[in-house]
Chains A and B, each alone.
Chain A
Amino acid sequence: MINLKSQILNSLEQGLRFDGRKPAEWRKVEVEYGISKNAEGSARVRFGGTEVLAGIKLSIAAPYSDTPGEGALMVEAELTPMSNPAFETGPPDIQAIELARVIDRGIRESRTIDMKKLCIKEGEKCWMVSVDIVTINDEGNLIDAAGLAALAALKDAKFPKLADDKIEYREKTKTPLPLLKEPIPVTVIKIGDKLIVDPTTEEEKVVEARLTVTSSEKGRINSLQKGGEGTISAEVLSAMIDLALEKAKEIRKHLEKGAK
């Protein structure tokens, strides 16, 4: 059998990837807002052939007892069997859970949303923000596509009308969600001693180590997730973060409406 990893590595030695990209080169990025009219906010992200949707639904909930004056956030992801022959129906598997948790932490712990502004009545009622990620076509790098789609959907979201503490979903206001920052994830992949970004399905099969770095528009790091079976040294970690921050800056530009 031909060894996929040694082939990919041989190619990387010459600074090339199977699809003709350079190691640090991203595929074509497309961000489209408002792709589902019924969601309070929604977006579609494409990285080449990879396509992910994200949608926001807002609802009224009881606040958590440890944060009575704040709103609530939930992030879920479905790696649909529609998007990849290897994905199955049924409850989310560990890959979907990890993806949703990485995106969740990037939004929650960075304090992307001003949760205090989501309080309706302290200890009783608050806004609950549900972020749902759905994959349409998986040709690699779902985490980064999902993270960008989630942020775009949050930016697109408008509150529905509230009357007597009941939501009138069919009447949207012009009020956007109170966003304090805009973190996006970038995953750097290590194969041999090479670092690449925006991996294809084939490249994901031979990953030694991966590091997802979620960073804000100020270049601050908001969440990290190391994956893969291989280890990384402190020097490699530093190089991976540099690459991730640089790429985040580039990808971020596509969030501007109508950007190409």
Chain B
Amino acid sequence: MASKRIDKTRKEDETRAIEAKAGVIKRADGSAMFKIGNTVAYAAVYGPRNLYPKFLQNPREGIVRVNYSMMPFSSAGERVRPGPSRRSKEISMVLEKALLPVLNLEEFPNAVVDIFISLTQTDAGTRCAGLCAASIALADAGIPMKDMVAAISAGKVDDTIILDLNYDEDSYENGCDIPVAMVQRTGEISLLQMDGDISKEELLKAVELAKKGISKIFEMQKKALKEKYQVFGEMEANGDAV
């Protein structure tokens, strides 16, 4: 049967092509690139490092700051003005909350872990792609983590529940978009947003679909990290300086 989604090349439960790579920004303590379809996110992690001004410090544990941004030339429409916007600030905040459940920063009181997420190219699903990149970058930086986090959007076009919406699907009038993030082993949800019009049954079906996409992403994240450290393993075996 022909696909009912706007992106005719995909089945309802099919993601776009995914690519993940760890260690793409050498100056950073950890970094990653995550590409899903035409959406490309970079993430860089710096820290744990000193936090100033001092009143921001938490003496009990380290804090996390996420900074999400779209590059000025990344959008299919007009240029995106650089600097924070209401949208980018809110996204940064929900991404922070999405990552916190897996981070353990008790060993780093008064310090900060900074996560910078930036999109070079966008075709919907930017916060999810950013979160997938950030999770890899945190692991690459060696930040103590209880688990990995991955995210994808699910949603609805007319009466069809679909996975990983592209821009045309995301902006479709009679539909909705639901970004979902989950913790790998527990399957618990750490980010959930939605706008549009949907029944409870449809919503739960969409979350179920997202879970399917997310487990595929976990495999890609793991593979990206293994690939990076594979290279180091080989270099060591060859007697090269690491």
Chain A residues in the interface with B (C-beta under 8 A): 35-40, 42, 49, 51, 53, 55-57, 59, 76, 78, 80-85, 89-91, 130, 132, 134, 136-139, 169-170
Partner of B25, one of A53, A91, A137: A137
Q: Which residue of A lies closest to B119 (CB)?
A: A36
Chain B residues in the interface with A (C-beta under 8 A): 25-28, 31, 38, 40, 42, 44, 46, 49, 67, 71-79, 82-84, 114, 116, 118, 120-123
Partner of A139, one of B27, B40, B74, B84: B27
Contacts A55-B74, A83-B44, A130-B73 known; list 13 others, CB within 8 Å.
A37-B38, A38-B73, A38-B121, A51-B25, A55-B72, A56-B73, A57-B78, A81-B114, A83-B27, A90-B83, A132-B72, A139-B27, A169-B78
Q: A81-B114, A139-B26 are in contact. Are A55 and B78 (CB under 8 A)?
A: no
Cβ contact within 8 Å between B121 and A76: no
Q: A36-B74, A76-B72, A132-B72 are in contact. Are A85 and B120 (CB under 8 A)?
A: no
Q: A57-B78, A139-B27 are in contact. Are A81 and B73 (CB under 8 A)?
A: no
Cβ contact within 8 Å between B74 and A38: yes
Cβ contact within 8 Å between A36 and B49: no
Cβ contact within 8 Å between B122 and A82: no
CB distance from A83 to the nearest CB of B (A): 6
CA distance A82 to B27 in the complex (A): 8
Cβ contact within 8 Å between A91 and B73: no
CA distance A40 to B77 in the complex (A): 10
Q: Which residue of A lies closest to B73 (CB)?
A: A55
Query: Mind listing 13 A-B residue pairs with CB under 8 Å?
Result: A35-B120, A36-B73, A37-B38, A38-B73, A38-B122, A55-B71, A55-B74, A80-B116, A80-B118, A82-B25, A85-B46, A89-B67, A137-B26
Cβ contact within 8 Å between B76 and A170: yes
Cβ contact within 8 Å between B72 and A36: no
Cβ contact within 8 Å between A59 and B79: yes
CA distance A82 to B65 in the complex (A): 13
Q: A39-B74, A55-B72, A139-B27 are in contact. Are A132 and B44 (CB under 8 A)?
A: no
Q: Which residue of B lies closest to A51 (CB)?
A: B25
Interface centre among B27, B40, B122 (most CB of A within 10 A): B27
Cβ contact within 8 Å between B121 and A136: no
CA distance A232 to B84 in the complex (A): 41
CA distance A105 to B25 in the complex (A): 29
